[in-house]
Amino acid sequence: MEKLFKRIPKVNLESEKEHSEGSPDGTVAAQKNSDQSEKQPEITQEKAKKHEGHAPKFSWSIKPQGDQKPKHAKADKEDIPDDLWIKCAHCKELIYNKEFENNKKVCPKCGHHFRLGAYERVSVLLDEGSFEEINPDLVTGDPLKFTNSTETYRVKSDQTRTKTGLKESIITGFGTLESMPLALAVCDFNYLGGSMGSVFGEKLVRLVEEALERRVPLLAVSASGGARMHEGMFSLMQMAKTTAAFARLGEAGLPFFSLLVDPCTGGVIASYASVADIIIAEPGALIGFAGPRVIEQVTKQKLPPDFQTAEFFLEHGMVDQVVARKELRPVLARLLRFYGLAVRQNAAVAASANQREVSYAR
């Protein structure tokens, strides 16, 4: 019997007791097991801080395959022209290119005047198709055989002519403004900063001489950095040469108008550009002999914010009028009519005086 009882397995009375204390179908135990399985692990502050800012390992965004494109895909760059919009250098606003060109390269938002090339300036001022250029083939030489650490003056001139399509920093010729004859000289800042060299002065003097022969007024549009350092004393001599030529224009009773545009500095503003009968400037143009930084270093004084601008020159009596670009033609036409009447009257007086001298001689 003892051997028989040893073969019978023992029954766990405690587990039987737990089952008996629950409901007959065992729902309490099942609920306890499910609660333990649903219990989530606790996230401590250290773990949260450790994983803060980490991007997920997987991205579930669907990418287009093959020729398929997303609905809001951006247009290709080839579909948008590069010159469709222009950013204003003053107010930083975007300007539609066609509106910008129609407004003569003046910002419609803030009125900032962009720089114009020489031939662009001619098209803005003169009647269409009326301009006849004179002495277009005069090119600068290299009288001093000037060279710097990288290139010679002759090489620099050839590169500039190829880049800009200009042979010199000034163009001269004759045209009409509202059907009134006018001699015109226009500087181009794109050609070596509009600097005045020996050819610059020669072309300007030849224009004055021909204007004297034709008896027509003269307009000089100046945008220059001053005398050309590559020519040394030869460029400085042009200051006296051009000023003397315009003095002859005044002696003949012919009007000389000077238009100062951005920028006009150095030997140009110190010579012929500031001896005109009427001096006009575009709004915001930089005008002065030396740069403001140089003046501050020499005088040890802080300059006013609007120093060396067209408005500052007008306030201090150095400029007769500041005229917006779109108003230049009507203003110049009015001046030509006024001075044209004076020129005719002077011619009549001179003719009568000559007749009296002839009669007295007889």
84-131 pLDDT tens trace: 899 999 999 999 999 999 999 999 999 999 999 999 999 999 999 999
* 130 shares a domain with 156: yes
> Computed from CA positions of residues 139, 145, 147, 151, in that sequence, does the dihedral angle turn out positive or negative?
positive
* pLDDT > 90? residue 343: no
Sign of the alpha-carbon dihedral angle for 250, 253, 254, 260 = positive
Please give the residue that has the higher pLDDT: either 32 or 44: 44
Read off the amino acid at residue 124. V
Residue 40 pLDDT: 52
Tally of domains within the chain: 2
The pTM assigned to this predicted structure is 0.74
In a domain, 285, yes or no: yes
Q: Return the pLDDT at 10.
A: 52
pLDDT of residue 76: 53
Residues 231 and 319 in one domain: yes
Q: Is the pLDDT of residue 303 over 70?
A: yes
Residue 28, pLDDT > 50, answer no
In a domain, 26, yes or no: no
Specify if 93 maps to a domain.
yes
The residue with greater pLDDT, 176 or 253, is 176
The answer to whether position 362 is within a domain reads no
Res. 79 pLDDT band, cuts 50 70 90: low
Q: Could you tell me which of 205, 206, 166 has the C-alpha nearest to residue 187?
A: 166
Confidence of residue 2 (pLDDT cuts 50, 70, 90): low
pLDDT tens figures, 285-298: 999 998 888 899 99
pLDDT at 361: 58
User: Can you tell me whether residue 195 is helix, strand or coil?
Assistant: coil
Residue 344: its pLDDT value, please? 76
Closest of 287, 168, 159, 290 to residue 222, by C-alpha? 287
Is the dihedral angle over the CA atoms 343, 349, 352, 353 positive or is it negative?
negative
Q: What is the pLDDT of residue 41?
A: 54
Residue 359: its pLDDT value, please?
65
User: Is 110 in the same domain as 164?
Assistant: no
Residue 60 has what pLDDT? Answer: 46
Judge whether 303 and 292 are in contact, CB under 8 Å: yes
pLDDT per residue as tens digits for the range 211-225:
999 999 999 999 999
* 36 found inside a domain: no
Peptide bond into 263 cis (omega under 30): yes
Q: What is the pLDDT of residue 47?
A: 57
254 and 146 inside one domain: yes
Q: How confident is the model at residue 43 (pLDDT cuts 50, 70, 90)?
A: low
Average of per-residue pLDDT values in the chain: 83
Is residue 132 within 8 Å of 184, Cβ to Cβ?
no
Contact yes or no for 199/153 (Cβ under 8 A)? no
> Hey, CA dihedral for 86, 88, 92, 93, is it positive or negative?
negative
**Residue 274 within any structural domain of the chain:** yes
Domain that holds residue 304: 115-352
Q: How confident is the model at residue 277 (pLDDT cuts 50, 70, 90)?
A: very high
Are 105 and 120 contained in the same domain? no
pLDDT at 161: 95
Output the CA angle 344-348-350, nearest 5 degrees: 115
- Identify whether 235 is part of a domain: yes
